[in-house]
Amino acid sequence: MDDQPTPDSIKGAAALTKGIKLLTAIADAEVPPTARDLSDQTMLPRPTVYRLLAALTEAGLVRLSSGGHTYQLGATLLTIAHRALDQMDIRDIAHEHLLKLRDQTGETVHLAVFSNGAMLYVDNIESRERVRMKCSLGVSVPLHTTAVGKAYLAFSPQDQRESTLERLRLDDVTGHSITSRDALRAQIAEAERRGWTTDEEENERDIFCFGAPILDRRGNAVAAASISIPRFRLRPMAEQVYVAPLLEATTNVSRILGYRPSLSGAKPKAAAAAIRIEGRR
């Protein structure tokens, strides 16, 4: 009988639920909201909103703006959030989204992180097709020849990116690889503009890849995901077939990590994929 909820515990749970609704509304707001804004958005009575905001402010979970009329997330909540993110494993966060991406596209998908000047594969989900790209976990691949590498570079902080680029060895891996630093910078600039990258047989012959970054709350890359397709199976309308579901997956993972386009300024988006299949050198 001791496990039965009491009226006080039920009341406390209801207050907690309402408090979470307020915190979520403040976090999602493009500009700091007023109590009236929060009441309208959450459909909670204004007296309830004021009472909960007072409690949340006292706990340091929200704070009043300098003008005293709008609310923002408080330092205590930010500390809790950062500690939670530090304890998360990017593989655990991303896996279900990568699984969905594999099922949507029918192709092998990868998750990679930056390590020792290269990209390290930390998760992959293979295509169910008989002919498919295979890759073992723990394998490192070059930055300049892979979609994951170029996606990571494109959304790295500028000073870090330039330092990495200056140290890169631009080896020609397949005969299609970028070996010019200027050409690589141009591809990275284009990837930063449109939000995704390609690897057109640059790391493995007869394999095309599309990549996109996974971003933290500042809009900086912490990892990258990619889809790998055998050349003979590459379908037309690549931006809809491959890029759109890829960006959906990476954006969903990025949001879990705290990424918000309006806050970071970074805006990954799909654009037309011009894939040159015919007439390769």
**Least confident window among 144-158, 207-221, 254-268:** 254-268
Distance CA 149, CA 226 (A): 10
**Are residue 94 and residue 231 in the same domain, yes or no?**
yes
Angle, CA of 9, 11 and 16, to the nearest 5°:
90
130 and 39 inside one domain: no
DSSP at 227: E
Are 103 and 201 members of one domain?
yes
Q: What is the pLDDT of residue 4?
A: 58
Please report which helix (H) or strand (E) contains residue 112, including its range. Answer: strand 108-115
- Calculate helix-pair angle for 46-58, 35-42, nearest 10 degrees: 120
CATH code of 71's domain: 1.10.10.10
CATH code where residue 118 lies: 3.30.450.40
- Report if residue 273 sits inside a domain: no
* Number of domains into which the chain is organized: 2
Within a domain: 64: yes
Mean pLDDT of the chain: 86
**Residue ranges making up the domain that contains 13:** 7-85
One DSSP character per residue, 39-98 reads HHHHT--HHHHHHHHHHHHHTTSEEE-TTSSBEEE-HHHHHHHHHHHHH--HHHHHHHHH
Answer for the pair 148, 139: CB distance below 8 angstroms, yes or no: no
- Tell me: do 134 and 185 sit in the same domain: yes
Q: Are residues 75 and 183 in the same domain?
A: no
Based on the fold, state whether residues 110 and 151 are members of the same structural domain.
yes
Residue 278: inside a domain, yes or no?
A: no
Judge whether residue 266 has pLDDT over 60.
Answer: no
Same domain, 224 and 105: yes
27 and 123 fall within a common domain: no
- The answer for 197, left when phi > 0, alpha when psi is -120 to 50, beta otherwise, is beta
219 and 190 housed in the same domain:
yes
Q: Is the pLDDT at 276 greater than 50, yes or no?
A: no
pTM above 0.85, yes or no: no
Both 58 and 104 in one domain: the answer is no
Task: Dig out the tokens for 232 from the structure.
Answer: 């003979």
30-42 pLDDT, tens per residue?
899 999 999 999 9
Our measurement of the distance from residue 104's CA atom to the centroid of its chain's CA atoms, rounded to an integer in Å, reads 18
pLDDT band at 260 (very low <50, low <70, confident <90, very high): confident
**What helix, strand, coil percent values describe the chain, rounded to 5?**
45, 15, 35
